[in-house]
Amino acid sequence: MKQITLKGLFIFIFLALLAFINNYPLMAQQCDLEFDDINYLPDIQSVEFYQGDNTLADPVLRLSEAGQLTLTFDMLGDMAYTFDYTIIHCNSNWTPSQLRPQEYIDGFPDDRITDYAFSLNTLTPYVHYRLVFPGNQLKPKLSGNYLLVVYRGNLERSNLVLSRKFMVVNPLFSIQASVAQNTRQPGLSRTHQMLDISFGVPARFSGIPRDAFSISILQNNRTDNAVSGLMPSHVLPGRMSFEYVSETTFEGANQWRNFDMKNFRYQSERIQRIIQQPDGYLVRLWPDARRNRQVYKSEPDLNGRRLIKARPDQNTATEGDYAWVEFFLPWDSPLTHDEIFVTGQLNDWRLNETNKMQYNYALRGYELSLFLKQGYYNYLYVLRDKTTGKTSVAEAEGSFWDTQNTYTILIYFRQPGTAYDQLAGYSVINAH
């Protein structure tokens, strides 16, 4: 009798776990999850998600290889919490795919973050969390786009902490790409960059319709001007190419602006003043100048990235401190049709209320304060049309064909008869 009871209990637990796994995609949608890089709590700061130990490397894994990604973040305050995480497979346009977790996860549907440490000797207290993924309990087993979601307790909106995109690539196709000397649009050759892109198609994929393939293009990881869902314009024997007039043409923009606040003990070139207050630091940058009427000047940059780094005698993870950083861009009068943002990895490439600048009538310019951890930062000023949502940097930064941009090219492929988009090609090229 006791044996039957234990067997029944085991069956009940198994069926409950199976129901939980099968309903996971539905739960993710019901909790109003945003499929983007989002911090759901205001106390979450300095989220980094990168490949291996290289904080400047994109979070990309190769299918069936032993690579790992690292996720780190700070939570302000002096209270440590228990966080869980899961991954969700996405289509090429970053909407949830129809796959169930057991189809794309090797292992359990969730796991726990157990590595954390409290800050030391900082004016701003925080707890630093670290996750190395994938682990033994949870691994992706298909290529494609993924969203990693961190939460507390149950997977529901009120418990969401953060989400971050990553990709798993199965390189079925080799990409050839370059920036052409001239664009196909008259008058843009000195200010814009146009990509010529093609990829080889092995014989085993011949006969598959061209709408099974699409590419996405990101310039310096920016999302506001990204191109996605672009199908091949020409299908040749063993090759597909993308020869468009405007779809693969980008503003050349300019080299990224920068400031260095790795050390609060001295003022670097771009910093006007560092003020230590009882509850934290204030870093005031020198007013910037519009560069739309300046000649192009080649200067080294990180293509919009940041390097969170404290002094050499400090442990950045737990001893790096925070500061309110003040930006100011002179502008004769407020814009009527556009709004201005500070963009870069310092705000996860997003254009939202956090990095939207406000006009100061007394000082005749746009200003903004961002809460940032010690480090070296790149940034640009971006204008966005209030009606169309189209963005441009030319009026604030200028735009030049010569700019040293990087372009990330992604090939998505949906095998006929399957229900998900594979990431079948990945390449990063330099403009020059």
Whether residue 353 sits in one domain with residue 227: no
Q: Are residues 391 and 293 in the same domain?
A: yes
Q: Are strands 160-169 and 60-62 parallel, antiparallel or unpaired?
A: parallel
Q: Which of 111, 144, 169 is the last residue of a domain?
A: 169
Among residues 125, 145, 169, the one where a domain terminates is: 169
Are 175 and 425 in contact by the 8 Å Cβ rule? The answer is yes
Number of domains comprising the chain: 3
> pLDDT tens digits, residue range 184-237?
999 999 999 999 999 999 988 888 999 999 999 999 999 999 999 999 999 988
Which residues of the chain are modeled with pLDDT < 50? 1-2, 13-17, 19-21, 26, 30
Q: Domain boundary at 169, 200, 232, which? A: 169
Q: What is the pLDDT of residue 123?
A: 97
Q: Which residue has the tokens 């990881």?
A: 221
131 and 196 fall within a common domain: no
Question: Is the domain of 18 the same as that of 80?
Answer: yes
Torsion 223-213-143-60 (CA) sign:
negative
**pLDDT value for 66:** 85
pLDDT of residue 9: 52
pLDDT value, residue 5? 61
Say yes or no: 14 and 158 in one domain: yes
pLDDT at 15: 47
Round to whole Å and give the CA distance between 14 and 398. Answer: 61
Domain that holds residue 154: 2-169
Same domain, 358 and 334: yes
Which residues, listed in sequence order, are joined to residue 384 by a DSSP beta bridge? 339, 391
210: amino acid identity, one letter: R
pTM: 0.91
Same domain, 137 and 192: no
Residues 165 and 183 in one domain: no
Task: Give Cα 74 distance to the centre of its chain.
Answer: 17
Q: What is the pLDDT of residue 64?
A: 84
At 213, which CATH number? Answer: 2.60.40.10
| Amino acid 65: pLDDT | 87
